[in-house]
Structure 1
């Protein structure tokens, strides 16, 4: 499994977490029972738990970039994609922002609606623009 496939699985796990309200360890254990992510296991596990543990902070930051839109109206799959990319941008120093955004857009093209890729790209682009303008201070 490569990193692109790992991100796709991660989005599916986040979607399942949001929709099923199952416990995160149960979701991850079921995934690992039927899938072998090989060298991407640590990435999937670390990122999944990182997003779950920081979901309120991530969602608060997402809300900042929604223009005339409520986070509860975002399609669950789109929200999973955005959360994954926000987490990578905010918490993972080893993943270039452009890679995270590009992967999110490609996943949206594959799993979501026709309008979702540009919607997701706009939100993520705004986050990165703020980051570039404000350095390490994500609160601005």
Structure 2
């Protein structure tokens, strides 16, 4: 299964959505992009999950990115950079089946391929903080759960 092609497809769909200001993306639109990128059938569902999840959680994702991007608003960021970070942040926060560092590395590769000269560095700087915050949050959750007496809720 080619997750990289699925991520590229999801990025293209999210980029297009950002340009057109369309609130929703249909499954047919994702399929059209997947066919264009020759995404294997087995990976198309993953592309759809990434698009749907990123759109569903976009408000909180944008808030987090904006809070970590010193002196940058979401609207001032390059369209590619913004959508690469949205996609990766969705994976980091809401896809526990994907290690955060994998999502980070994939995002850097997308930024290198589709973004500007400084995109990879910019994306890396912000997403590294997203991964760190998620790790801290997970550690605190684990500590809180392990400190409870057995049988308590």
**TM-score above 0.5, yes or no:** yes
Q: Which residue of 1 aligns with 2:65?
A: 62
Match of 1:107 in 2: 110
Residues 133, 30 of structure 1: alpha-carbon distance in 2 compared, 3 angstrom cutoff? closer
Separation of aligned partners in 1, 2:66 and 2:4: 26
Q: Counterpart in 2 of 1:95?
A: 98
2-structure distance, mates of 1:79, 1:72: 8
Give the CA RMSD over aligned residues: 1.9
Residue by residue over 1:73-123, the C-alpha shift from the partner in whole angstroms, topping out at 9 and shown as x without a partner, is: 000111110000000000001111111011100111111111110110010
| Partners of 1:25 and 1:122 in 2: CA distance | 29
> 2:119 maps to which residue?
116
Match of 2:145 in 1: none
Between the aligned partners of 1:136 and 1:76, the Cα distance in structure 2 is 33
For the residues of structure 2 that align with 1:29 and 1:136, how far apart are their CA atoms?
40
Find the counterpart in structure 2 of residue 49 from structure 1.
52
Q: Is the 8 A contact 2:30 2:48 kept in 1?
A: no
Task: Indicate conservation of the 8 Å contact 1:131/1:137, yes or no.
Answer: no
Q: With structure 1 as the length reference, what TM-score do the two structures score?
A: 0.89
Q: Indicate the structure (1 or 2) with the bigger Cα radius of gyration.
A: 2
Gap runs ≥5 in structure 1: none
Provide runs of 4+ in structure 1 moved above 6 Å: none
Structure 1 counterpart SS, 2:97? coil
Shift in CA distance, 64/23, structure 1 to aligned 2, threshold 3 Å: closer
